[in-house]
Chain A
């Protein structure tokens, strides 16, 4: 393989005007550009219908998931209920009965056997918002926010997640994707540009001491 004249390489890189090349190099330049142009023909195939069939299937599944999420959100929203006084009395009696039942020491929400508790902590002084996106929430924003109630720049969140490995990133101020510097483990994000996601391994409650 013979090396190509650097002036020709420069012209092909757009760093030199091809008109300034000597005649033999200008001819090689023209021949090369013509050869490269032969490769620009677009194949007469399409995968659009195949891809859109998959997309529609996934969108329908996501829609079913959204309905469930909306229901959960609706159940968590405050509502105004107008009651007759007599019903109010009955409700108060029922509430009193519930309150008189003694609570066990672990009355808070607990993860299932195949779940564990994930703690997310990050130091982001001056940030207006911090959230976590990851494989556990389809990398969707707006689902798991960290809070910094005392304004010391240390943001916290806790979530019940299925046991096992989860990839995640912090999203700071709604636009900056940052790996967790405290994660300890990282994996390539699979898109080939050397970017890494943080890796968290959630231990099931059954395995915790």
Chain B
């Protein structure tokens, strides 16, 4: 029985050794981030849940193909990113329809006005993000939501670091413009 704090490399070895239940440790570890990433990419929590579930099952099936289990996180994000891209391609557009962006996500809080204000801000940023082309959205989310370095982003996306920097810079420009419009 592998414990929840075991390093990825040990958990992967345990799963490959035939202990399928140990895969649950990896799900608990990476599911929240993957769902967050997929939701921001697809703009729809149900589609994101499908993409992440399919990605995790695919990861389990091909775990032996993970050449560097020490960098499992990047590998899982790569599979999920591919899944999201396929999903977007099936819609014949890289962009999220604004109707897919979830309605105001009310945070916990006692001050209703503060909650509404925050909800409006979230909706605004989500809409600005949704208006970006998929590859810029992906670069922005990996950098600023998942907190990855450009090196890890390159592993996840297969794109070169200067290309990723350019995508992130362009995404920031669009978001800052959207934010300034609200301030005015």
Contacts and interface: CB of A to CB of B under 8 A. Distances in A.
Given A42-B32, A42-B36, A47-B52, A192 B157 contact: yes
Most buried by B among A12, A56, A191: A191
B66 to A, nearest CB: 9
Contacts of A41: 36, 105, 107, 122
A51 B158 contact: no
Interface size class on chain B is: 35 or more
A42 B35 contact: yes
Contacts of B134: none
Interface of B: 18, 20-21, 23-24, 27-28, 31-33, 35-36, 39-40, 45, 48-49, 52-53, 56-57, 60-62, 64-65, 67, 75, 78-79, 81-82, 85, 105, 107, 118, 121-122, 125-126, 129, 141, 144-145, 150, 155-158, 165, 168-170, 172-177, 179, 183
A191 B85 CA distance: 12
B129 A194 contact: no
Given A52-B23, A192-B158, A39 B40 contact: yes
Contact of A139 (B39, B64, B141, B176): B64
Contact of B57 (A40, A51, A133, A189): A51
Interface in A16-43: 28, 31-32, 35-36, 38-43
